[in-house]
Amino acid sequence: MVTRVKICGLSTPATLAAALDAGADLVGFVHFPKSPRHLDWPAARALAAAVRGRAERVVLLVDPDDATLRAALESVAPDLIQLHGRESPERVAAIRALAGRPVMKALGIATSADLARLADYAGADRLLLDAKPPPGAALPGGNGLPFDWTLLAGARLPADWMLSGGLRPETAAEAVARTGAPALDVSSGVERAPGVKDPDLIAAFVAAVRARAAPEPASADAAGLLARPPHGV
């Protein structure tokens, strides 16, 4: 199984080109003023236009109102809308209906109780499992923190889920091997400073994932792998 890669928080033509040239499957554009990766709509429009069908375009929004959603659709024409706030299942469904586009809901994971929320968001097209932000964090994601992957052992996960949180080039292959994730999402792990992507790190991350095919989730083997504590994350 080929593991898909999303490079999120791209904000310059050079780093977008690096992601596309490396073979990223999805590229993400953040519209959230508190984020160092925030793009206004003219900048997002210019970058999205440069993708030219080489990858899926993802727009990341945080608790968007309808006006923001319409602006995102007009500017980015996204293939996927990523919701990274406190959107309720009902709001996710409403956004999906209004946009007429697939929606991915990000869920913060810190304990096994957080995994119980997955069933509430069955109406989303995809789920992104990210590390829950620490208390007082200004950002809902992109904090460079992993969650305990052993929580996923035995969990019933949707087929098209994505793993995020604290991923870096040197841990990407391990993440795939230990979780069986069909897709990885990285942002701060390919930056040299908050919001400043590094083309070499982008290339290294994609190469690390491509060098290893994800194993089929298999009960005993998967449980054994997940029982080992994270290394270097």
Cα distance between residue 68 and residue 89, in whole Å: 19
Residues 6+ apart with CB under 8 A from 52: none
Q: Determine which helix (DSSP H) or strand (DSSP E) holds 106, and give its type and residue range.
A: strand 103-109
Cα distance between residue 1 and residue 89, in whole Å: 30
Query: Exposed, middle or buried: residue 119 (CB in 10 Å: 0-12, 13-18, 19+)?
Result: exposed
Kindly name the residue from 8, 79, 114, 221 that is annotated as catalytic. Answer: 8
User: 174 and 142 in contact (C-beta within 8 Å)?
Assistant: no
User: 59 and 68 in contact (C-beta within 8 Å)?
Assistant: no
Q: Is residue 125 flagged as an active site residue?
A: no
Kindly name the residue from 25, 79, 114, 130 that is annotated as catalytic. Answer: 130
Which single residue is written with the structure tokens 């440069």? Answer: 50
Which residue from 193, 175, 195 is spatially nearest to 184, judged by alpha carbons? 175
User: 226 and 153 in contact (C-beta within 8 Å)?
Assistant: yes
Q: Is residue 66 flagged as an active site residue?
A: no
Which single residue is written with the structure tokens 């990885």? Answer: 184
Residues carrying an active site annotation: 8, 130
